[in-house]
Structure 1
Amino acid sequence: MRGREKERERRERDLEKKARQQADQVALEEQKANLSRELSALRNTHNKLALTYRELLEKRKFVIDIINSTPELAHFNGCVNATPVKPDTEEPLKGELETSFKDEMNELGQSKVEEEKGEEADKKDEGEEVEDEDSIEWELRNTDSVFSELSELSRDYVESVDRGASVRSVDQSEEILSQYEELKVTELVETARKTLISRVVELTDERSALKLEVETLRETLSRLEGRVKEKEEETKLRKELETCQSEDPDVSQPASMRNFSRSEMARVVMEKNQYKQRLFELQEAVRRSQTLATKEERFSEERRSSVWRSPRVRKREIYREIRSQIWGTLGKRQLHGWSLPLANTQEPVPEPKDVPVLMQLRLLDHKESTAKCSVWVVSGPASCSDITVIDPARSNTVLDQFSLPPTAPALCICAVPPINTAGTVWIGTQEGILVHLASAGRSLCLRSVSLSESVHSLYSQGQVIAGLGDGTLAFFSHSTGWNLQSHSLMPLGSNPVQPIRCCLAKGGRLWVGYWNKIYVVDTESKKVEQTFSVSERSEQQVRFLCAGGSGVWTSCRLDPILRLFDWSTGRPLQEVDFAALVTKTLQPFLTLSPLQISSLTVICGRLWVGTGGGAIFSIPLSISEDVSIPYCSTASAQLCYHGHRQVVRFIIAAPCLITNPGSSYVTTAQLILSGGEGYINFRIDDASDDSEEVSQAPPQRSERSHMIIWQTPTPPVPNPAL
């Protein structure tokens, strides 16, 4: 404690020293500014004095001329020096009208002798210019008038000609004296004014210095108050600690002899229950693995005999057994490549309506350059991503195909509708986000931003929302353009963190799946309004969210149960166990079709489900105009006979325009696209060659990435609720 106090005092001394240095620097700057102002004031005063001196010289000359030309003022000749003033010099006056005037003029002349010597040459030039101007003025005068003739004659000559003509007045002396008095008063007023100005400048400087001192004192006072509060808190904590130590009798006892509190007992019991629950889960996993091992014993003989056969050949034989199982369970009847509803009763089930029709099956590595695109597909290994752009109406043509940088493999993709410019496609990678044009120049990256974590999900509705790998949401808004550098972050979870893989927005609210919970976020205030659990197992992760009507279907990772929640309240409405449906369809070959939901979406009044084994199911939703909750029943589920050999990666909808063959009539249609690795028809044998192949051989056509396209006979929006 003392060491911290000494360190704090040392820091306070350093801060006070810095504050004093700053105050001294400010004072020096203010003193420099004051000196500059005083220098400018002295310059102005010097100029005014020089002007006053010239005016006094002119007045002296005028007074001497009047005295010399007026006989009545002859008694003033003793007060004025008889030496004439030359027009080209500025020597100081040697006589005055009165004694006081003479003294003041002598003092003024002595103070200006040195300046006059330096300026004598300039004044001579000015005198010559004045004489030239006077000569020009005399030349321009009208000499024909009587006034001009009389003005050229001296006053003595006029009086000698006519004794009665006097051009002077008795009051001229009084006027001269009054002018002298006014001059003295003016000088006094000017001196008083300069004194007041200097005093005002001094007071202003003192006021600024006092202001600076007051601010310094206030800062010191606030700092000292903070120190006093810290000391008081430390003293209070010390007293409480001493009181608790004096009241607790078990402090002096060793840790083994102390009594447990109720909170510690509750924590121990809770940890014990958690370990028990984990033990039960592990026991259940062991029983499940034992059951699977028992089912595989029947195939042990065949596996021993086929050790040296190709894995493709073994997988092909297993697929044949799956097809025989489907023939025996679902029958031979089909509807546009779909099975009949999997009803549990013996009564005939009416044929379902609005069954999607298979349009096309294509590989994802076809490449042409004359097609138009509206769907972007990401394919390739985990280390490198290839982008294929297709037109869903003509899926066998590809307009563009390019690869992303090897350092930034794609994790998610999202189409952003145009706002002020053309539409864009945002690609989330392990490094950040890449933005490409949706039409021309697709391979050129318009913008990019590097984020601290990888981007696992993207969602667009007015603004782009990215789910990062550390459980954080990144909001990108569009004001004057997409500025990827200015975005806001909103963390959701704490350690251990988990990537955000699914988001769903509707009506200003955003549903975010994080761990086994759903967070309802207000997109305006960016605050969590509601939180509820989807599964009881905390280690599960919400992977899919799809809206239908006023409900939301959810699915968790490695969980075959689908759950329906109410959109407005988050209340659970229905649970559908998908394991029974998959087991009934593909039994007993669960090792090739694990109970895992790999894709989930709601399109045209149907719930589309893709499994980890490559099978695709479609379940009609019971939505009407009166009831908008999208309930479903596994009894009406249908299996598509066209599937994938591996996980179903995506199922999306793509509205497009289709031209009828033989006519120019164009209709709107809703296409459903699914993508995955490989292709398989569950109703027929594998058409590939049965010959053995080495493991390094290139993959067959049926094992490469495929895309299956259906067309729904219903309009794009079948019900106002969806």
Structure 2
Amino acid sequence: MATETTSSEEEQDYPETSPYGAPGRLGVGGRGRPHSESPMDGRAMRRSSRGSFTRASLEDLLSIDPEAYQSSVWLGTEDGCIHVYQSSDNIRNRKNSMKMQHSAPILCILYLDNKVFVSLANGEVIVYQREAGSFWDAQSSQTLSLGTPSGPVTKMVPVGGKLWCGSQNRILIINTATLVQEHWFQVGTDSSRCVTCMVSYGQGVWLALQGSAQIRLYHAQTWESLTEVDVAPAVHKMLAGSDAIIRQHKAACLRITALLACKDLLWIGTSAGVVLTLSIPAVSSGTVSGTLRSPLTPMGSAHGHTGHVRFLTSIELPEGFDVNFPLPADTTAQSGVDGAIGGLQRRDSSHRRASALLPVKTNQLVISGGDGYEDFRLTNSSSETVGRDDSTNHLLLWRV
């Protein structure tokens, strides 16, 4: 995604000095939702008798600072730059509203409790805040030294009102109000393996270490290790029909590359291109190690990627949109994806009620992104398109 870096009247540069300057990994973008979480300026607090804002009060509110009450999108880059755009902007023809330059690559960006947490490759975490009725203040930030250049914070996830940060094989738990580290614990014994994937669901937190094919479940409140799940058997089963050399190569370097929790299912992306799902067990405040039902067995999807699964995410379909899934006869034309999307179309309410293509309560999609597309039900020898699209980025969409 190309971004303009030349200065203009619409962008502001806020360089930040740091003794660190080593290049590192590609940064991942994040998003903030400014206006709904912060108290509003007293000049705009006139309300109607029902308690809602009047039209006049909203107009006054926007006249104070229109940008302060719009959603923003934060993009972090490998050269240490953060670009902030209004979510309604077209970045092809609109300069960024704000730009902050750091001396280390951006690893991850997370919005939580009206703050934006930015992890840098030098081990620092920068916390950006804002005053009520104001846009993000790039010059008013705090720096937390949570990691080191050799062990930066590689993953940040909100868990029960706290911020869980993965640094090497340690989990640091940060109070987002005081920005003080309250607790930490170690995952495994190998400090050379950092936390690469982490998701929270209910009272449980699932995580995976670098180069590992195992998922670990921790209790969100007691920090106790509850169980471990090895995905290798399920992946090997899905690769049974592949070429022997490819199967051996994928099995030798198998690791977990993405995690997503959605509707009581844990979605697991792997370096082999196989997408797995695991039914998430119920974790309560009293759950301890050994009390979960066992075994927890992941199931593989017939549809996956030729190469690595790069990411997993889910979206909620907005009201007024239907998903046209192809009929079974059209599956091959849509790359054979489970519930492949034929198109998103806006329809009137009567048409939505009459549509039988999408169940009424199905309003979420799970999306995987990765290298190539592969139907694991087919053997390589039966496909005439082997290798043709292996390096082409694909999105696979599931209806959940």
Fold equivalence (TM over 0.5): yes
Per the alignment, residue 562 of structure 1 pairs with 215
Task: Confirm or deny: 8 A CA contact 1:619 1:633 kept in the other structure.
Answer: no
Give the superposition deviation at 1:547.
0.6
Counterpart among 484, 489, 511 of residue 138 in structure 2: 484
Q: How does 1:184-263 map to 2 (within 5 A)?
A: none
Q: Which AA in structure 2 matches 1:659?
A: D
Give the superposition deviation at 1:599.
0.3
Per the alignment, do residues 632 and 457 of structure 1 end up closer, same or farther by CA in structure 2, a change over 3 Å counting?
A: farther
- Structure 1, unaligned runs of 5 or more: 1-385, 387-402, 691-698, 713-722
Matched position secondary structure for 1:581: helix
Give the superposition deviation at 1:628.
8.0
Query: Does residue 447 of the first structure (1) align with residue 89 of the second (2)?
Result: no
Task: Confirm or deny: 8 A CA contact 2:238 2:376 kept in the other structure.
Answer: no
Mapped to 1, the partners of 2:292 and 2:304 lie a distance apart of 25
Mapped to 2, the partners of 1:703 and 1:507 lie a distance apart of 39
Matched position secondary structure for 1:539: coil
Matched position secondary structure for 1:665: helix
Give the superposition deviation at 1:460.
0.9
Q: Which AA in structure 2 matches 1:618?
A: T
Per the alignment, residue 700 of structure 1 pairs with 388
Per the alignment, residue 352 of structure 2 pairs with 665
Mapped to 2, the partners of 1:563 and 1:503 lie a distance apart of 16
Per the alignment, residue 536 of structure 1 pairs with 189
Give the superposition deviation at 1:512.
0.3
Counterpart among 269, 288, 291 of residue 610 in structure 1: 269
Q: Which AA in structure 2 matches 1:665?
A: R
Counterpart among 98, 107, 117 of residue 456 in structure 1: 107
Mapped to 1, the partners of 2:306 and 2:30 lie a distance apart of 26
Mapped to 1, the partners of 2:294 and 2:32 lie a distance apart of 34
Structure with greater strand percent: 2
Per the alignment, residue 263 of structure 1 pairs with none
Counterpart among 623, 635, 639 of residue 282 in structure 2: 623
Give the superposition deviation at 1:654.
0.3
Mapped to 2, the partners of 1:631 and 1:470 lie a distance apart of 39
Counterpart among 465, 468, 475 of residue 120 in structure 2: 468
Per the alignment, do residues 700 and 583 of structure 1 end up closer, same or farther by CA in structure 2, a change over 3 Å counting?
A: closer
Per the alignment, do residues 540 and 707 of structure 1 end up closer, same or farther by CA in structure 2, a change over 3 Å counting?
A: same
Matched position secondary structure for 1:703: coil
Q: Which AA in structure 1 matches 2:136?
A: W
Query: Does residue 592 of the first structure (1) align with residue 255 of the second (2)?
Result: no
Give the superposition deviation at 1:440.
3.4
Per the alignment, do residues 563 and 636 of structure 1 end up closer, same or farther by CA in structure 2, a change over 3 Å counting?
A: closer
Mapped to 1, the partners of 2:309 and 2:139 lie a distance apart of 35
Task: Confirm or deny: 8 A CA contact 2:229 2:296 kept in the other structure.
Answer: no
Higher-Rg structure is 1
Give the superposition deviation at 1:632.
7.3
Task: Confirm or deny: 8 A CA contact 2:214 2:228 kept in the other structure.
Answer: yes
Give the superposition deviation at 1:553.
0.7
Q: Residue by residue, what CA displacement relative to the aligned partner does 1:107-147 show, whole Å, maximum 9, x if unpaired?
A: xxxxxxxxxxxxxxxxxxxxxxxxxxxxxxxxxxxxxxxxx
Task: Confirm or deny: 8 A CA contact 1:432 1:449 kept in the other structure.
Answer: yes
Per the alignment, residue 438 of structure 1 pairs with 87
Per the alignment, do residues 585 and 680 of structure 1 end up closer, same or farther by CA in structure 2, a change over 3 Å counting?
A: closer
Per the alignment, residue 260 of structure 2 pairs with 601
Q: Residue by residue, what CA displacement relative to the aligned partner does 1:238-287 show, whole Å, maximum 9, x if unpaired?
A: xxxxxxxxxxxxxxxxxxxxxxxxxxxxxxxxxxxxxxxxxxxxxxxxxx
- Structure 2, unaligned runs of 5 or more: 7-22, 36-67, 325-346, 354-359
Per the alignment, residue 58 of structure 1 pairs with none
Give the superposition deviation at 1:664.
2.5
Counterpart among 398, 404, 425 of residue 3 in structure 2: 404
Give the superposition deviation at 1:636.
4.0
Give the superposition deviation at 1:700.
3.3
Q: How does 1:131-146 map to 2 (within 5 A)?
A: none
Task: Confirm or deny: 8 A CA contact 2:274 2:304 kept in the other structure.
Answer: yes
Query: Does residue 423 of the first structure (1) align with residue 39 of the second (2)?
Result: no
Query: Does residue 502 of the first structure (1) align with residue 152 of the second (2)?
Result: no
Per the alignment, do residues 455 and 577 of structure 1 end up closer, same or farther by CA in structure 2, a change over 3 Å counting?
A: same
Task: Confirm or deny: 8 A CA contact 1:621 1:631 kept in the other structure.
Answer: no
Mapped to 1, the partners of 2:220 and 2:262 lie a distance apart of 18
Give the superposition deviation at 1:652.
0.4
Q: How does 1:22-37 map to 2 (within 5 A)?
A: none
Matched position secondary structure for 1:590: helix
Aligned residues: 302
Q: Residue by residue, what CA displacement relative to the aligned partner does 1:571-607 show, whole Å, maximum 9, x if unpaired?
A: 1111112233333443562313432100012111001
Give the superposition deviation at 1:565.
0.9
Q: Which AA in structure 2 matches 1:671?
A: L
Per the alignment, residue 332 of structure 2 pairs with none
Mapped to 2, the partners of 1:641 and 1:565 lie a distance apart of 29
Q: Which AA in structure 2 matches 1:592?
A: K
Per the alignment, do residues 481 and 406 of structure 1 end up closer, same or farther by CA in structure 2, a change over 3 Å counting?
A: closer
Give the superposition deviation at 1:492.
1.4
Q: How does 1:5-44 map to 2 (within 5 A)?
A: none
Give the superposition deviation at 1:611.
0.4
Structure with greater helix percent: 1
Give the superposition deviation at 1:609.
0.5
Task: Confirm or deny: 8 A CA contact 2:158 2:200 kept in the other structure.
Answer: no
Q: Which AA in structure 2 matches 1:590?
A: Q
Q: Which AA in structure 2 matches 1:404?
A: T
Mapped to 2, the partners of 1:583 and 1:689 lie a distance apart of 23
Per the alignment, residue 372 of structure 2 pairs with 678
Larger RCO of the pair (alpha carbons < 8 Å, separation 6+): 2
Task: Confirm or deny: 8 A CA contact 2:221 2:285 kept in the other structure.
Answer: no
Mapped to 2, the partners of 1:703 and 1:523 lie a distance apart of 41
Give the superposition deviation at 1:634.
5.8
Q: Which AA in structure 2 matches 1:468?
A: L
- Give the TM-score of the pair, scaled to structure 1: 0.39
Matched position secondary structure for 1:598: strand
Mapped to 1, the partners of 2:266 and 2:277 lie a distance apart of 6
Give the superposition deviation at 1:414.
1.4
Give the superposition deviation at 1:507.
4.0
Per the alignment, do residues 628 and 424 of structure 1 end up closer, same or farther by CA in structure 2, a change over 3 Å counting?
A: farther
Give the superposition deviation at 1:410.
5.4
Per the alignment, residue 9 of structure 1 pairs with none
Matched position secondary structure for 1:622: coil
Mapped to 2, the partners of 1:513 and 1:626 lie a distance apart of 23
Alignment RMSD: 2.9
Matched position secondary structure for 1:591: helix
Per the alignment, do residues 448 and 563 of structure 1 end up closer, same or farther by CA in structure 2, a change over 3 Å counting?
A: same
Mapped to 1, the partners of 2:236 and 2:193 lie a distance apart of 22
Mapped to 1, the partners of 2:377 and 2:398 lie a distance apart of 18
Give the superposition deviation at 1:411.
2.2
Query: Does residue 577 of the first structure (1) align with residue 240 of the second (2)?
Result: no
Mapped to 1, the partners of 2:176 and 2:277 lie a distance apart of 33
Runs of 4+ in 1 over 6 A off after TM superposition: 406-409, 624-630
Q: Residue by residue, what CA displacement relative to the aligned partner does 1:30-59 show, whole Å, maximum 9, x if unpaired?
A: xxxxxxxxxxxxxxxxxxxxxxxxxxxxxx
Per the alignment, residue 517 of structure 1 pairs with 170
Per the alignment, residue 49 of structure 2 pairs with none
